[in-house]
Amino acid sequence: MPTDPIRMRAGEDGRLIVHVPYSPDHVAKIKTVVGRRWHQQEKHWTVPRTDRTIAQVLALFPGEPVEVDSALRSVRPLDHQEVPDGSMSHHPVAAWPGLLDQVRQAIRTRHYSFRTEEAYIGWIRRFVQFNHKRDPAEMGAAEVSRFLTLLAVDRQVAASTQNQALAAILFLYKDVLDRDFGWLDDVVRAKRPQRLPVVLSQQEVHALLSALNGVPWIMGTLLYGAGLRLMECLRLRVKDVDFGRGEVIVREGKGAKDRVTMLPSAIVSRLTAHLERVRTLHAADLAAGFGRVGLPDALARKYPHADREWGWQWVFPASTISADPRTGERRRHHLHESVPQRAIREARRRIGIAKPVGPHTLRHCFATHLLEAGYDIRTVQELLGHSDVRTTMIYTHVLNRGGRGVQSPADRLLSGVGDSC
């Protein structure tokens, strides 16, 4: 038996460092902790820093010497828990809802967006509840497949929704439970149907933008004139709009990639006036004790006063102060996506466009109209931020020259005939 004590101390990134003297029994026990990781170079384990996890580790080694960092000594071991068959477990199973706390911790360590965090938490909660709150470590491919079948067959969700649920479950097993089962990569993903994007003519885009006013007009013109995604537009910071170079810098777009696109000259005067109003609003927020904006990743710790600076403020701030869903701090967030969505939907209805139109339609129009104007597809790919040119190629199918740019044989055969009928 090992004679050295088991030591626990605080680590970085919300984790605990656990030194366990080697023995097959000790290794088997520590591997039961949800979210544990082995660090080969440092020769120690780390586990999520939650009260429940600390208690689980303490409960694993009764009667053995354990040295605990003074900051952690207020936590007591958990009592043994009942497992479904009524027998006593030698170690606690994955906590519920403590498991979700560990999922949130893993997501935030990887700097995923809040939208991704909420989506993953929601799908993992549904998956565990669907399986009667069983410990996910005890489940496998059969349970995952049954859950995805429920979504596809009974609920009839879209393929993209099914794949998002699968991504959340895979994240749970690989990144939280640290279980690299062979079946994880064999789970079949739903095949998304390939649909052609809805594209408006230039005349229809002009009519749509003319039906917008104020901030929705500025946003709509940026979506069409710079090819931005809706959330890229909403998350623009003042410093990312370069009037001198006529550029817009998109930070951490889809796939966490930065890119540069053009700033339409037609928008400069209205955007400049809009930013002056935003600056006045920011000054009023500072005077009222607010004015701190959320910063990406660890910049808030590295530059503690940057969140008050003008350059970091949102180009499109919300009209009211609200609580940050992660920290609870009251601040002015960026405009909610429902504002431009509703404005574009109402504008489409007013001018009588029959096609389904949303903010992303304007990005489709940006790409298609550039290709129609003769711009190189690689240039369009770069402006859109596509990783693969095949994604951009979809817009060659909707150019304003008929199907695939081919003239119909009926047009050649019946040229001039229709006029005489």
- CA-CA-CA-CA torsion for 106, 111, 115, 117, nearest 10 degrees? 0
Query: Which amino acid is it at 176?
Result: V
Residues 6+ apart with CB under 8 A from 297: 111
How far apart CA 12 and CA 349 sit, in angstroms, is: 53
Q: Name the DSSP class of 65.
A: -
- Out of 120, 173, 224, 395, the active site residue is 395
- Out of 7, 80, 126, 360, the active site residue is 360
Using DSSP bridges, classify how beta strands 66-68 and 6-10 pair: parallel, antiparallel or unpaired.
parallel
Q: Annotated catalytic, 254?
A: yes
User: Which residues are registered as beta bridge partners of 15?
Assistant: 48
- Residue 111, classed as helix, strand or coil, is coil
- Residue 40, classed as helix, strand or coil, is coil
Q: Name the DSSP class of 310.
A: G
How far apart CA 270 and CA 264 sit, in angstroms, is: 11
DSSP string, 138-172: G--HHHHHHHHHIIIIIS---HHHHHHHHHHHHHI
Q: Are 187 and 166 in contact (CB under 8 A)?
A: yes
How far apart CA 247 and CA 259 sit, in angstroms, is: 10
Give me 105's structure tokens. Answer: 């911790």
Query: Which amino acid is it at 49?
Result: R
Q: Annotated catalytic, 279?
A: no
Q: Annotated catalytic, 375?
A: no
- Out of 19, 125, 134, 229, the active site residue is 229
Helices 338-351 + 214-226 axis angle, to 10 = 90
Q: Annotated catalytic, 360?
A: yes
How far apart CA 18 and CA 153 sit, in angstroms, is: 45
- Out of 134, 254, 274, 397, the active site residue is 254
Among residues 13, 91, 89, the alpha carbon closest in space to that of 48 is found at 13
- Out of 26, 363, 364, 369, the active site residue is 363
Q: Annotated catalytic, 229?
A: yes
Give me 291's structure tokens. Answer: 């004015």
Active site amino acids: 229, 254, 360, 363, 386, 395
